[in-house]
Amino acid sequence: MKKLINILSVIFFVGAMSANAQCCSGAAKSGPNVLCDGCAVAPQSSEVKAYYFHATKRCVTCQAVEKVAKETIEENYKGKVTFVSINREEEKDNPLVKKYKISGQTLLLVKGDEMVDLTSSAFMNARTNPDKFEKRLKSEIDELL
């Protein structure tokens, strides 16, 4: 049973990475803190925002990503960072889904024209090593603040 769960976890992770790689139709990366050329559309303010885009049906890892990210932000950055959870299936016409060309589960930090994609780190660690994910999230937010 554990082997099946591990295999399914790997398949899910590869699928999430594949969906994330499709963002911007495979445009080249332009640095560690920028999602990709052509995608970095500047928000109207200099406020840091965390956007978690998810599907309607969510596995335990998807739920853990939201839980750890939301709790970390609320406990450490109240009033400084806004956490927004968006169901990309129910809100297909949400301007943020279109703006960031979201096609899969995605966790982004955005400030002005800076964008940090934490999807890989989040999905690798939120459930199995939440302290590691929390540390990375805090580090990236601190850099943006």
Instruction: Tell me the residue range of the domain where 20 lies.
Output: 2-144
Q: Tell me the one-letter amino acid at 90.
A: E
What CATH number does residue 69 fall under?
3.40.30.10
E strands, the chain, in order: 48-54, 81-87, 106-111, 114-117
State how many domains the chain has.
Answer: 1
The whole-number pLDDT of residue 23 equals: 39
- The SS3 assignment for 61 reads helix
Note the pLDDT of residue 113. 87
User: How far apart (Å, rounded) are the C-alpha atoms in residues 107 and 50?
Assistant: 7
**Amino acid occupying residue 72:** T
pLDDT score recorded for residue 93: 87
What pLDDT shows up at residue 2?
Answer: 60
pTM equals 0.69
Give the model's pLDDT for residue 11: 60
Radius of gyration (Cα) for the chain, nearest Å? 15
10-residue block means of pLDDT along the chain (145 residues)?
Answer: 57 50 35 38 70 96 97 96 95 90 94 94 96 97 95
**Rounded to an integer, what distance in angstroms lies between the CA atom of residue 82 and that of residue 52?**
11
Q: Of 61, 55, 36, nearest to 116 (Cα)?
A: 36
pLDDT, position 20:
44
Cβ pair 84, 69 in contact under 8 A? no
**Whose structure tokens read 């301007």?**
95
* Residue 117 confidence (pLDDT): 96
